[in-house]
Amino acid sequence: MNAPAPPPEPALTRWKLLLEYDGRPFVGWQRQDNGRSVQQTLEEAIAKFSGEIVTTFAAGRTDAGVHAFGQVVHFDLARTAGPETVRNAVNYHLRPLPVAVLTAEAVAEEFHARLSASGRRYLYRIVNRPAPLTLDAGRAWQVARRLDAAAMHEAAQHLVGHHDFTSFRASLCQAKSPVKTLDRLDVARYGEEIQITAEARSFLHHQVRNMVGTLERVGAGKWPVYRVAKALAACNRSAAGPTAPADGLYFVEARYDPRPAVPGPPASP
């Protein structure tokens, strides 16, 4: 007698989450042996809600202490539930750690939070005042010396475009090539706060923080504007400025190009 056929595997739903988190309690996004990560925290919350062990994938691997306004994550789940149920249940199990699911939506199985992203945007916040930080402690870089934001913006434009960013790459960076295309690097002052916005398809490890540390040297009057171009051309990490603290860096958003529409039948004349 033939053995009965095994039951079919349950259909999986691919979920896309939009996350906000304060990076201070974590060793970064990715699971590590030296402490709690955002990834571990999220996967444990999903397991408590669903009873399933899942692997989550993020649009950007933020470092220890780096925050997120709009981190995008995907995972596959067998349990059937609506978007609000997924969002609210996962948030319940994330407490009291500072991670929140802002939105949850079911997406096509071809979607991948990292590989499908066509662009990423980061924000770096500098609070430019001599008084210590209270509300923004751990959430911005405090620089007491008055910075020239206009000079920083002018210097930043030397970095925009398709370049070898070896001078702004961490020594442990695992990217296959140091060549990247930086689409935008803007510096603007809003009262005591200086905001630096960086946009690109992808970034090297510590690239944004190394660019910010270099621009701070310009803003402080320690470097002339043209020295940033020389640092870029040197293709040597020692030619650029220091690495800015993780405190001020935020993953703002990942951009996904809309899927092309399936052509329909020709319209009737």
DSSP code string of 33-84:
TTB--HHHHHHHHHHHHHS-----EESS--BTT-EEEEEEEEEEE-S---HH
Show which of 79, 107, 135 is a domain's final residue. Answer: 107
CA distance 117 to 255: 6
Q: Which domain holds residue 130?
A: 119-254
H helix runs in the chain, sequence order: 38-50, 83-94, 149-156, 207-219, 226-234
Same domain assignment for residues 71 and 148: no
Q: Is residue 23 part of a domain?
A: yes
Same domain assignment for residues 60 and 80: yes
Show which of 62, 86, 107 is a domain's final residue. Answer: 107
- Confirm if 33 and 27 have CB atoms less than 8 A apart: no
Active site residue 164: no
Same domain assignment for residues 83 and 136: no
Domain count, the chain: 2
Tens-digit pLDDT string for the chain (269 aa) = 566 666 566 689 999 999 999 999 999 999 988 999 999 999 999 999 999 999 999 999 999 999 999 999 999 999 999 999 999 999 999 999 999 999 999 999 999 999 999 999 999 999 999 999 999 999 999 999 999 999 999 999 999 999 999 999 998 888 899 999 999 999 999 999 999 999 999 999 999 999 999 999 999 999 999 999 999 999 999 999 999 999 999 999 999 988 654 444 433 33
Candidates 56, 99, 47, 83; CA nearest to 251 is 99
Show which of 107, 131, 166 is a domain's final residue. Answer: 107
Same domain assignment for residues 102 and 141: no
- Confirm if 66 and 246 have CB atoms less than 8 A apart: yes
Same domain assignment for residues 171 and 250: yes
Q: What are phi and psi of 201, to 5 degrees?
A: -65, -45
Question: pTM higher than 0.85 for the full model?
Answer: yes
Residues paired with residue 161 on neighbouring β-strands, in sequence order = 182
Q: Is residue 259 part of a domain?
A: no
H/E run at residue 141: strand 141-142
Same domain assignment for residues 29 and 129: no
Q: What is the CATH number of the domain that holds 191?
A: 3.30.70.660
* Per-residue confidence (pLDDT) for residue 174, from 0 to 100: 85
Q: Is residue 263 part of a domain?
A: no
Residue whose pair of structure tokens reads 């402080």 in the numeric block: 220
3 state SS of 122: strand
Same domain assignment for residues 133 and 160: yes
| Active-site option among 63, 76, 136, 148 | 63
Helices 149-156 and 207-219 cross at an angle (nearest 10°) of 130
CA distance 64 to 39: 12
Q: Measured on CA atoms in the order 122, 127, 128, 130, is the torsion positive or negative? A: negative
Same domain assignment for residues 102 and 167: no
Same domain assignment for residues 250 and 223: yes
Q: What is the CATH number of the domain that holds 97?
A: 3.30.70.580
Amino acid at 120: R
Same domain assignment for residues 147 and 247: yes
Residues paired with residue 121 on neighbouring β-strands, in sequence order = 199, 253
Same domain assignment for residues 247 and 140: yes
Q: Is residue 2 part of a domain?
A: no
* Per-residue confidence (pLDDT) for residue 112, from 0 to 100: 97
